[in-house]
Chains A and B, each alone.
Chain A
Amino acid sequence: MRRGGGVVKKDTLLGIVMAIFSVGMLIQSKQLVNENKFDTIGPSGFPEGVSWILLGLSIVLILTSLLKRSVSSPKVTKINWNVIFSFVILFAYIILLPYLGFILATFIFLWILQVFLTRIRTLNSFLKITLISVIFSLVTFLLFEKVLQVFLPRFDLFL
């Protein structure tokens, strides 16, 4: 996967991942049984056909990416820790949501992500962040529950 000691090209990696996915879908499609004799394509025909197309395109992508010697293909370079940390916060929020309930989980999520993103860290900015977190978690909850009749998760830690 490494060429000339360089980093893996994103296109090559994408092609490999898509090829694996299409092969997986092909195998799964083959296992589907057609019980309707009038339906010649059956439940497996369409996903199978598209999987073959996806596999073909993945191979083309891998080959064109390997043929390109220039830097035009995007490369997998350094890890973007800002994005990873933000995803971690988002996932933690999603996991905690059913346990802490919408209001509390949302308040914590908004507060942490704002603190992470803000560059000006004064007492005033922390107060502002706290206020925004309280207002948005409450207003969204009330908007969904009272106006849109959508019931969001409630505090459920001890149940």
Chain B
Amino acid sequence: MEYLLEAFAQIFTLKVLGFMVLGSIWGIVASAIPGFTITMAVVLTLPFTFSMEPIVGIATMISVYVGGFSGGLISAALLGIPGTPSAICTTFDARPMAEKGEPGRALSIGVLASFFGGLVSIIVCILTAGPIAKFGLRFGPWEMFSLIFFALTLIASLGGKAIVKGLLAGAFGLLISTVGIDPVGGKLRFTMGLSQLAIGFAFLPILIGLFAVPQMMKSITKIRQSSGEDSEISNSFISGSINIPWIKTLKELSKHWVGIVRSGLIGCLVGALPAAGGSIATFLSYDQAKKFSKKPDEFGKGNIEGIIASEAGNSGVAGGSLIPTIALGIPGSAVTAIMLGALMLHGITPGPLLFKSQPVLVYGIYVSLIIGNIIMLLVQALGMKAFIKVCNMPGDKIVPVVLMLCVAGSYALNNRFFDVIVFSIFGVVGYLLSSAKVPLAPMVLGVILGPLAEANLRKAIMTDPNIMLFFTRPISLVLIIISILSLLISIYQLGKDLKKEQQITSKSV
């Protein structure tokens, strides 16, 4: 209890709350712009938090993260374009509701469902992260290595047809992470004679390069290919005034609390699994809501339950995906990998030991999640009209500014120009890989988890050279079995697809 009070005292200062409000606004704005993702919003925030105290920086990042999950609905409802991939299902019902003349109702349902769904997942996160971390204390280097192997294979195999590319990206990321001092013996590796590489690649410029540059280049292509008239989105909802009935919607939502809790829990569960993210959560939650609904035929025609399912489901991911990140130090997605990176930049190593060594900080994360969610609601309620206008922001003005912020952010990390060069190299790598349809999330996970994987593997073998221990220790064995199973299923699926494809081509020939 005293830790909780101390955490509240640290967060409840004007400075922290101010940064959280700014973070929330940025998260909502970034995800409201079609083509921008929560990951990018979080990556671009990271450089601004370096100079802050750990708790301030973490609280700011969390508010961007939480805000980002709710911003996608604005363009989903008003333009029919999901601001982020996790808002895809929101377009199914929010857009028809807006077209029926109720855009304000659609937005308020989305925001409130997002808030309550997020709250459900935060409560689950608070209740489960501690016991999971306690369980994690039993993990030796064998289990830790298997857990990382599990996270990497699962995120790679989820790519479906791109399983080989996913694994390839993961392995590439792991190799990038070996540049610099080796984590056990302290020997320099692959530095190419560059003293700047002695500590390895700073992962922030890599992240910025990998996530921002490909996205911006895609936007540039789109802008250049569209005509001048197209770039100015004209929408009667955006140009006109929208009345948002918050109180009426709140009363309406009280009748759907079961749906909110169910969707929040689905989002939380999906978020806690490695590799599964907002877009899977929103589809699963939407599908379940349809199955449980008394009026399944009305889904896709502006049904309130559809908006609730999608928004509560995707916001539920926020708390869920932080569970393995905080409790075990293993992120399950690109965005939580960045959150983990943010913690590490502030000298904090998430994982089971964090709960013992820095309990106030753990509670600080919980408190930031709760307050971040409340701030998101307030910011959305007060600033909705301004955010609606954001959807109309022209890409030709945004892209150059974002690229400039990427350069400034990369430089700001260590005040050295070398990191800007690293950013530009990985920007090109990211663009080339993404144009070859290589998933980038496994690569990021590889870069971040690489040193941990190597250190644990070497520690395990140094403790006992018997390699069979990876297969005889129960937790390690279970994790390895699941990883291999997920790989085998994906390979089987790949083989089936390849066979089908060959049959089609031979028939057509």
Contacts and interface: CB of A to CB of B under 8 A. Distances in A.
Interface of A: 10-11, 13-14, 18, 21-22, 25, 28, 32, 34-36, 38-43, 45-47, 50-51, 53-54, 57-58, 60-61, 64, 67-70, 72, 74, 80, 82-83, 86-87, 90-91, 93-94, 97-98, 102, 106, 109-110, 113-114, 117-120, 132, 136-137, 140, 144, 148-153
A151 B50 CA distance: 13
Interface in B454-486: 454, 457-458, 461-462, 465
B400 A114 contact: yes
19 contacts: A14-B438, A38-B462, A41-B458, A42-B185, A43-B182, A46-B453, A47-B178, A51-B175, A53-B171, A61-B168, A64-B494, A67-B498, A82-B221, A91-B424, A97-B417, A110-B400, A114-B396, A148-B48, A150-B415
A152 B404 CA distance: 12
B185 A97 contact: no
Contacts of A35: 185, 187
A152 B498 contact: no
Give 6 closest A-B pairs by Cβ, nearest first: A119-B228, A117-B396, A113-B400, A43-B182, A54-B171, A46-B454
A28 B175 CA distance: 12
Interface stretch (B244-252, B355-363, B428-436): B428-436
Interface in B240-278: none
Interface residues of B, number: 69
Contacts of A97: 407, 411, 417, 420
Contact of A14 (B185, B436, B502): B436
A13 B417 CA distance: 32
Contact of B168 (A18, A69, A153): A18
A43 B187 contact: yes
Interface of A is mostly: helix
B401 A136 contact: yes
A110 B408 CA distance: 13
A25 B450 CA distance: 15
Most-contacted residue by chain A among B184, B411, B431 (CB, 10 A): B411
Given A86-B217, A110-B401, A148-B51, A93 B407 contact: yes
B26 to A, nearest CB: 13
B172 A74 contact: no
A70 B220 contact: no
Contact of B220 (A40, A50, A82, A91): A82
Contacts, number: 178
Nearest to A114: B400
A83 B175 contact: no
Given A57-B167, A110-B404, A151-B415, A46 B502 contact: no
B405 interface: yes
A57 B171 contact: yes
A14 B428 CA distance: 14
Contacts of A57: 164, 167-168, 171
A83 to B, nearest CB: 5
Given A36-B185, A90-B424, A140-B405, A45 B168 contact: no
B397 interface: yes
Contacts of B403: 90, 109, 113
Contacts of B458: 39, 41, 45-46
Interface in B142-198: 164-165, 167-168, 171-172, 174-175, 178, 182, 184-185, 187, 189-190
B109 to A, nearest CB: 35
A158 B203 CA distance: 33
A82 B225 CA distance: 9
A90 B424 CA distance: 8
B415 A60 contact: no
A121 B321 CA distance: 46
A132 B439 CA distance: 34
Nearest to A52: B171
A10 B187 contact: no
B223 A144 contact: no
Contacts of A144: 408, 412
A135 to B, nearest CB: 10
Contacts of A82: 220-221, 224-225
A39 B164 CA distance: 32
Nearest to A71: B505
B78 to A, nearest CB: 23
B200 interface: no
Contacts of A58: 168
A137 B405 CA distance: 10
A64 B228 contact: no
A120 B427 CA distance: 29
Contacts of A39: 184-185, 458, 462
Given A40-B462, A109-B403, 11 more contacts: A14-B438, A34-B185, A35-B185, A36-B185, A53-B171, A82-B220, A83-B220, A83-B221, A110-B400, A114-B396, A150-B50
A43 B189 contact: yes
Contacts of A151: 415
